[in-house]
Copies of this chain bind each other. A is one copy, B any other.
């Protein structure tokens, strides 16, 4: 899971001893995608877990032996990260230039982590950032993540996890249930209704009866395989007015939700919930706010980051032997030096500004403002810090942080970041 150039750089640096110089690398995003107002950090815990497993066994060494000298192979065989990592917590907001993750150690031990750190943080943060906008659009209505089939099979599991951090209620992905403890959800697809087709043609009632027998009347029946009005009538006829829910997966969801709500109420199924799904994104969810929808199933747009499938974070060398370094060529300038960050807030809790400052200095905080430390110790001397916050803590943190944003920050429209980032220069 590593790019070849990390090893060719490593080899060259091992050859002349530069590999052992102490360095700091920093992960940050130059901008937020598509005029978004905030980003959401996710993937940090997955990165830390991957870091403990980041070793080079015989199979990997064999591949690398094709182009690397013995000295490099020996170094890799005994590789184990022994440095420090600091970073934003999962569920924390980030803005352009926020030092989301900082990795400190020798050049050699840090340089080989570029692809691993970026793959995980770019993917998971992209999903969480899109998911938070959806959750915000949904308000108190539950959101079910059901996008596994629209993305790589392993990415799907990570996407479920990131969506849960961002406020989704449950996932259809059972490996995410097993691996990360995300609550599971799911009832049936059109295939199940179609299965109940015999010589006399489709028999929707038989399908509904089979599902209710198996899952109880609290289940959700998918009513749009044939005709929605007939489907709703069949569903209530089979399950009774105590039916848990009906799902609509196609058509104009607003119009259909109103029509189905009226029909359910007329049939006496006043407590039966309406679940909608089918090409929903944050805008479609927001457009359904006034409609009698009880929960949403979201697939494609969630796992593809709703137009921003990657967070665009980069991993840059910022100090060499204590000296700040930075690329200078056009358009992609970076700020050198190891950095930390605080976020100032008013007494009301509203966030004011992100302040990024050189590690070791103390940023000046305006009178009357409080400050939140954003960069937390994650790894010390190669050992993960004890009792790092888990998935539910990340979910709670984000919920708090979204409340702290100035209100323009929650707008779906394109605009400037909700908080500006101020960079404090290193003292001369």
Contact = CB atoms under 8 A, between A and B. Distances in A.
Interface stretch (A78-86, A309-317, A353-361, A393-401): A309-317
B188 A9 contact: yes
B151 A123 contact: yes
Contact of A325 (B13, B18, B197): B197
A215 interface: yes
Interface in A45-61: 50, 59-60
A372 interface: no
Contacts of A13: 192, 195, 210
A263 to B, nearest CB: 15
A153 interface: yes
Interface in A155-206: 155-158, 172-175, 177-178, 184-192, 194-199, 202
A149 B114 contact: yes
A186 B8 contact: yes
Interface bracket on A: 35 or more
Contact of A197 (B11, B119, B151, B320): B320
Contacts of A251: 329-331
Interface string A3-33: 1111111011101101001010100000000
A107 interface: yes
16 contacts: A2-B174, A7-B186, A8-B211, A12-B210, A13-B210, A18-B196, A115-B173, A119-B150, A120-B153, A151-B309, A153-B154, A195-B317, A199-B323, A225-B328, A228-B329, A250-B329
Nearest to A15: B214
A122 interface: yes
